[in-house]
Structure 1
Amino acid sequence: MRLPCEVSVVSRLLPSAGLRGPGRSVRAVVALGKPPGGGGGGGGAWLLVSTARHRPGTKYQLRENIGQLFTKFVEEGKATIRLKEPAVDICLSKANVSQLKTFLSAVKLADRSTNEETLPLSTLVPPKASEVEKPKTKMTITSRKDYPLTRNFPHTLEHLQASYCRLARIDMRMLCLKSLQKLDLSHNHIKKLPATIGDLVCLQELNLQDNHLESFSVALCNSTLQKSLQSLDLSQNKIKALPAQFCQLRELIQLKLDDNELIRLPFRFGQLSQLRFLFVARNKLPFLPSDFAKLSLESLDLFGNPFEQPKPLVPDMQLKIPLTLLEYSARATINYRLPYSCHILPSHLCYDLEMSKSCQCGQACLSSFIQTTVTMNLHRVAHTVVLVDNMGGTAAPILRYFCSLTCYSQFLDRHL
């Protein structure tokens, strides 16, 4: 029985001699078994602690030799085996919890057993070098010739970079790396993202700069990335629009969308409440969504977008008088915060309610409204603003909605 973990062997006699114990824990394999040929100075089970520096390891007899087992933090993968002779504490950490519990149960049985046959033991042999080496957590590949074609990626990877490898699609082997926190696939030829990226539950940073992407799927927006993704780089691609569900990635802190073909930002962009760094330079944005005013950013770059001149006196009239029953019902549902779901309403109505607009008076409107653009100083939403154009401007047009002619008239009276 073997247990991969980190180990620190501490002598209890060192303090009495005025000496300090060993330093930090090291990667090791702790094995339970019997010595080759039954040797080792006694029968019964023995413990073998092997490290990368000393693979043959150190053996400790267990029969009637355990002073105490400390298991208070076993749910964190930690435990300590206190031996009577020699007077040492074998401190285990960073172990798999279920494996550790099984191992400790076997250690208890080995301590009490007087009959070896009741405890089936294999012969102790030193582990392979790969078993005691520190798990590889970072891999950087920056050329096609270095890309692993015949061997798998280490399953312990937390940071993987595979740039300039001419990848046309994401390697499915990467999507099996459940500990992956940072994935950098910049400067490749990737055209489409598989929905299974959302299965990387620990993924915090995703870099897809300089690829051939044309979209970002709804499936990714609805995946576990909602809770984990903090940094997303989609710059230098061919994306024309992001889905409305993109705003469900509410843990995003940094978002890079430079050098795409974006003609609009998602309607509910203001829902990205954690967003602090936003880069959308050199796209095709004519204006900003109304929700943009809800952001609170540290840095904002919108340079090089063909923003239209605001025209508050030339509105887009979508107002229908009298209002339809559907419009009345939808407004009441939003304004009075009535609960709704796909179990109560058809899914298309739920989607329409989620896409409702907000008037300046605070009331909602669905498909009957007045739309126009007004000027907003970007310093209202960001501490640092890159100039919008070569003329030194820091203002951009933003959409505004009005639920009635009265609200629109009041707006004109106040601002014109």
Structure 2
Amino acid sequence: MKLHCEVEVVSRHLPALGLRNRGKGVRAVVSLCQQSAGNQRRPQASSDPGSQPPAFLFISTMKDRHGTRYQQLKENIEQFFTKFVDEGKATVRLKEPPVDIRLSKANASSLKGFLSALRLAYRGCGINTQLSTPTPVKTSEFEKFKTKMLITSKKDYPLNKNFPHFLEHLQTSYCGLLRVDARMLCLKNLRKLDLSHNHIKKLPATVGDLIHLQELNLSDNHLESFSVALCQSTLQKSLRSLDLSKNKIKALPIQFCQLHELTDLKLDDNQLIRFPFKIGQLTNLHFLSAARNKLLFLPSEFKMLSLEYLDLFGNPFEPPEVLPTIKLQAPLTLLELSARTVLNNRIPYGPHIIPFHLCQDLDTAKTCVCGRFCLNSFIQGTSAMNLHSFSHTVVLVDNMGGTEAPIISYFCSLACYVNSSDMLK
């Protein structure tokens, strides 16, 4: 009986010696074994001539394929720790030697079956499942449980076999890929996916099914967009780093700002003409790079960001307009009044309550400098803002040593504009 998982064996004598365990498991095959009667070096004395030889644990790793034995299990297990067994984690505490065998990253159902067999072995009961024999584990048996795979040439790309199911980090660069391989989308443990330096033009919505994905590198491809479906997928809760540099993206959807966990965003060398105007919702963003694009100005919500690093070098920012654009309506339309009431009072809305086109209008409402909202009635102005206002480190905007860029501001009324007129100077 075998269990594929990560194992860390911790001696309980370490704290008394002032030592600490390294705190990291290694991929292993844990076997519940039974020495065949003919190969037993020390036959067990027993009144029952038909009794089975005692079971023992056999742990094999890639570095030690011949394995380590924990010879006696009967009445030698002090405690089972199974609080997180549904997450594929458990600990078996042995009396002698005094060690804790920590199991992790195991299949939950396989782990439960393995622990049940261990309990039977501890009690000295018969185990219905056929037990393994203590033989060295083949290297090929570890291959399919690899957690990291780096492929950097076309000739090394696997065409006739699947990727190891337990991969957490996959890089396939310089492979000439025209699309995302469907086999990658079955790797539910993926945390880092690097598809840089390929020819990918479109991302399938099923990339959003990789529920643990934290880092996605798509630099140097042929992408022209980032789909709304991905912005509204499980990536909202998992994705922390996104590299879209060296593509052909002209704009990101409004829904892009629903990727609330993003901390690092690279958009260099695209064709961006604007940032999504709700970018201020990316409250966890610390690193933002969008050099060498076609940005003319920054959205008003850019001021809500709190960055550690910002690079906007090489964008053709326009000088601030002297005169504002006035689109005030008097009196306000019913649509404008209703929209402002819903947004200012944070009233929930959705396509199940109001028509879809009204939801789109509310999603694209402008934020006034006073914090209130406006839809179609507003004053728009631009002003030069020092980028150090929202970033600790700023790369120069141009070769002249500037760190200022034009930022759009909206005013929901003439009173707001007059009270904030110094912003446009």
Aligned-partner residue type, residue 60 of structure 1:
Q
Aligned to 2:66: 55
Aligned to 2:217: 207
Q: Does residue 1:395 correspond to 2:401, yes or no? A: no
Aligned to 1:8: 9
Cα distance in 2, alignment partners of residues 55 and 335 from structure 1: 68
Residue deviations 1:65-105, cap 9 Å, x none? 3233411355262322536xxx4356432242443332222
1:230 to 240, 243, 247: 240
Cα distance in 2, alignment partners of residues 335 and 237 from structure 1: 38
Aligned to 1:376: 385
CA contact (8 A) 2:216 2:243 kept: yes
Aligned to 1:80: 92
Q: Does residue 1:100 correspond to 2:101, yes or no? A: no
CA contact (8 A) 1:33 1:121 kept: no
CA contact (8 A) 2:381 2:424 kept: no
Matches within 5 A, 1:248-259: 248-259=258-269
Gaps in structure 2 of 5+ consecutive residues: 45-50
Gaps in structure 1 of 5+ consecutive residues: none
Residue deviations 1:360-385, cap 9 Å, x none? 23332111212222221111111222
Aligned to 1:158: 168
Aligned to 2:128: 119
Aligned-partner residue type, residue 317 of structure 1:
I
Q: Does residue 1:149 correspond to 2:159, yes or no? A: yes
Aligned to 1:168: 178
- 3-state SS of paired residue (1:8): strand
Matched residue count: 404
Cα distance in 1, alignment partners of residues 395 and 279 from structure 2: 19
State which drifts further: 92-101 or 355-364: 92-101
Aligned to 2:32: 32
CA contact (8 A) 1:55 1:129 kept: no
- How far is the alpha carbon of 1:213 from its aligned partner? 0.4
Q: Does residue 1:359 correspond to 2:368, yes or no? A: yes
- How far is the alpha carbon of 1:131 from its aligned partner? 3.5
Aligned-partner residue type, residue 369 of structure 1:
F
Matches within 5 A, 1:155-304: 155-304=165-314
State which drifts further: 342-351 or 105-114: 105-114
- How far is the alpha carbon of 1:275 from its aligned partner? 1.2
Cα distance in 2, alignment partners of residues 100 and 378 from structure 1: 53
- Provide the aligned C-alpha RMSD in A: 3.1
TM value normalised by structure 2: 0.84
Instruction: Quickly say closer, same or farther: Cα 1:59–1:253, change in 2 above 3 A.
Output: closer
Cα distance in 1, alignment partners of residues 330 and 193 from structure 2: 52
- 3-state SS of paired residue (1:211): coil
TM value normalised by structure 1: 0.86
Aligned-partner residue type, residue 79 of structure 1:
T
Cα distance in 1, alignment partners of residues 11 and 250 from structure 2: 61
CA contact (8 A) 2:188 2:210 kept: yes
